[in-house]
Structure 1
C-alpha cells in the first residue's frame, strides 16, 4: 500500500506474515511506532530472516511482523511524522495527517489477530520493562477479560519490571487538559484534550477483543535493546506455541508498579530539579520539578518516576509517577504456580 501525502513524502506500508497448517494463536508484532525507536525493527527483521532460513520454525497459528509501523517518522529519524501515532490510534474516514493513514492500515491488522507485542524504547537511561493492561473489568473505559493471559505472557518476556494503569491515568490527564483549555486553544491542544488521545496500539487491540502489551526495551541507543526485543519475540512465540522450542519459564522475580499520575509540561520554562532516569526512586513530597513561575511539582506517593522528558514541548507529557502495584500478590501466585 502506497500513500502520497501533501508534503511530497511517498511511503509504503509493509508487513510479513507466516501461517502454519496447524491451528493456533494469531499474533502480530510491531516495531517503530515511533520512528526513532528502532530496536524492535532490528529484532523483527532478524526474526523474519530466521523464519525464512529455517532457524525458527512455525508449528501453529499465524504470525504477522511489522518492522516499521510509521515509515515517515522512521525515514525522518524522529519520534513522529506529523503527529504521535501512539495517541488517538483509531481508523478514520477523513485522514488528515500521515499517521491517520497508518491507523487505517494498521488497525484492521490488529483486529485480525489475537495478540499484540509492541516493541518500543525510551529517551532517558533506564532498564527494560513491560506495560500491560488493566485487571479484568466491565467498566466503560477499558473493559477487559484477558488479564491472566497478559500477565502470563509478560512474565516470559525476560524483563523484571511490570507497569500498568496507563489508560486510567491518561484519562485523568485528559481531564486536566480539558480544564486548562482556553477559548482560543489551538487545534493540537484541543486534540490532546480528547478522551481518545490515550488510545494507542495496545488499547486499540484490547478494544477489538485481543490482548496486548508494550515492551520498552531500554534507552533508544542502548546496544542491548535489539537483543532484549529479539529474546522477547522468541520467548513469546514459544510461550504461545507458535514456533518450535521449549516454552520459557517465567522470570524468577518481577517488580510491579502502577502509574497513578501524568504530569504535563505547561510552559517551556518548566524545569526538572535534577536529571531523572526512568525508575528513579521518589518519596512522598520529593520535589521533581519547578514550573516557570517557581511553583514546585512534588510526588504524592512513594514510588518511581518513568518517562521523564526534559525535551517535552509545552502541553505534552513531562513525566509519569508510579507506586507499588496491588497486583503483586497475583504475580507472586503466578510465579509460585509455575515453580
Structure 2
C-alpha cells in the first residue's frame, strides 16, 4: 500500500475566510461527510475523496454523530483514514462534529440536554480517535430543554478540552440571538453557525444572516447544492432512481418537479454564460454573502471535489447576473421546507 503524502501546493489555490472576529479561517469549500462515508460505502473511495479534498486545500471536514449509515460509521471511517493517512497533518485540519438528532435508543440519545450532548461528544471522540474536535455543534434547537442548559453543556466541552470552539446548526435568527447572549456571558468561544442555504432555499436571508451580521459572526452552509438538484443531474429530466420519487424531499415532490426543472435549467443558462457549471455557480452564489465563510459539498468520487473547488475561479457576480437569478427564482412557486 502506498503511503499518502499531501500535495505540496495544496494551499496555493484555496481561498480561506475568517470566522467573524475569531482568529480562525476556514477553507471556502468544506467537505461534508453526511453521505458516502458510511459502512455501506467503499473504504478506498472514501479515502480517495478525503485525500483529494486535502490536496486541494480543503481543511474543513464536517461530521455528525449520526452520519452513516449506519449511524456513527462516518466518524469511524474518517477516524480510520485520519489515523492511517492524515495523522501527521492533524494540526492543518479543522474537524467538526455535532449532536442533536437521534443516535441511540432511549431518552438520552437525542436532542440537546447536557446528558445527551456530553455523552455524544465522548462517543464521537472515541469513534474518530481524536483527542478533541476543532468545533462541536448542537445540531438543532431542543424545544424541551432550556437553551442555557444546552449552552452550558457546550461550554463544559470546551473547558474539559473536548472541543476548541462551539457552533449552532439549524437555529433561526431569534434562537441564535438568545444562544449568542448566553455564550457571551459564559465567555464560551462560539464562532460559527451552520444553516441550510442554497439558491432554492433562501429563508435565512431575512432572519439568520442579518442576526449574524449584527453579531459579527460567520456561517457555513449545508445542502449548498440542494442535495444534488443544483448540479447537472436533473438538467435533462428526472432520473428513474432520483430523489424526485421520494415525497419527503419537498423541492422534488411530484407536483413541483416540472417547475423546478424549468428553474434549474434557466439557472444553468446563467451559469453557462459565466463559463461555470450550475454547481459551481451555486457554490459561488452562496459565497457572495459576506457572512458565509464556507460552503459544504458532498462527493461520491474525487472528480466531484475537483470540479466544485473550481467554483473559486469565478466568485464575482455582476449586478445584472444577480438580478437575473432573482427573477428566475421569483418565478418558482413557494416550497414547503417544513416537509424536509
Q: TM-score, normalised by structure 2?
A: 0.27
Greater strand share, structure number:
1
Which structure has greater helix proportion?
A: 2
Give the TM-score of the pair, scaled to structure 1.
0.27
